[in-house]
């Protein structure tokens, strides 16, 4: 049995001493033996990875280069963690409004698998 591990790009084979890691930036794979198997134990099984959709508008969408982004995150992650993953946590001090599944929330709100996060930058004009 092979189980795909994300986001670490690792594949674990049924043999207890056979592990192969493949970097997304390299075509080659690296095999390790049972002496380094304890590192593999710290990987998160793909069945525990959560997927959240993030929608951005205006200057936020321009900053990250897209309006809609789906992220793979770990359980017990917060909105702040999601913003850090995207690289826009600095917007928290600029009046960013955060909506989680249609409800306005704060940065410490936990997210769950399948959640939709909408990030609204402050609007001004005259």
Q: What is the CATH number of the domain that holds 107?
A: 3.10.20.30
Mark whether 55 and 109 lie in a shared domain: yes
Mark whether 64 and 29 lie in a shared domain: no
pLDDT at residue number 123: 80
pLDDT at 106 over 90: yes
Instruction: Tell me if 17 is assigned to some domain.
Output: yes
Instruction: Tell me if 99 is assigned to some domain.
Output: yes
CA–CA separation, 89 vs 71, rounded Å? 15
The sheet carrying 50-56 orders its strands as: 68-73, 50-56, 116-120, 97-100, 103-105
pLDDT at residue number 83: 93
Q: Please, which residues have CB within 8 angstroms of residue 119's CB and are 6 or more apart in sequence?
A: 54, 55, 56, 57, 60, 83, 88, 91, 96, 97, 98, 99
C-alpha pair distances (Å), 110 with each of 15, 38, 56, 115 = 37, 29, 19, 10
Whole-model pTM: value is: 0.64
Mark whether 81 and 28 lie in a shared domain: no
Mark whether 42 and 53 lie in a shared domain: no
pLDDT at residue number 76: 86
| Nearest residue to 72 via CA among 87, 85, 60, 61 | 85
Mark whether 98 and 78 lie in a shared domain: yes
The 3-state DSSP class for residue 24 equals coil
- Report the number of distinct structural domains present in the chain: 2
| Average pLDDT of the residues of the chain | 74
The 3-state DSSP class for residue 43 equals coil
pLDDT at residue number 48: 73
Range with the poorest average pLDDT among 20-29, 32-41, 95-104: 32-41
Quick one: pLDDT band at residue 112, thresholds 50, 70, 90? Answer: very high
Q: Which domain holds residue 9?
A: 3-46
CA–CA separation, 116 vs 111, rounded Å? 9
């Amino acid at each position: 049995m092979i189980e795909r591990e994300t986001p670490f790009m690792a594949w674990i084979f049924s043999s207890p001493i056979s592990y192969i890691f493949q970097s997304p930036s390299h075509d080659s794979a690296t095999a390790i033996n049972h002496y380094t198997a304890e590192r593999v134990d710290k990987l998160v099984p793909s069945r525990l990875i959560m997927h959240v959709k993030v929608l951005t508008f205006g200057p936020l969408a321009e900053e990250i280069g897209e309006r809609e982004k789906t992220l793979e995150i770990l359980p017990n992650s917060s909105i702040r963690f999601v913003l850090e993953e995207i690289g826009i946590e600095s917007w928290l001090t600029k009046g960013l409004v955060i909506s989680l599944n249609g409800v306005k929330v704060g940065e410490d709100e936990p997210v769950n698998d399948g959640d939709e996060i909408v990030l609204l930058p402050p609007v001004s004009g005259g």
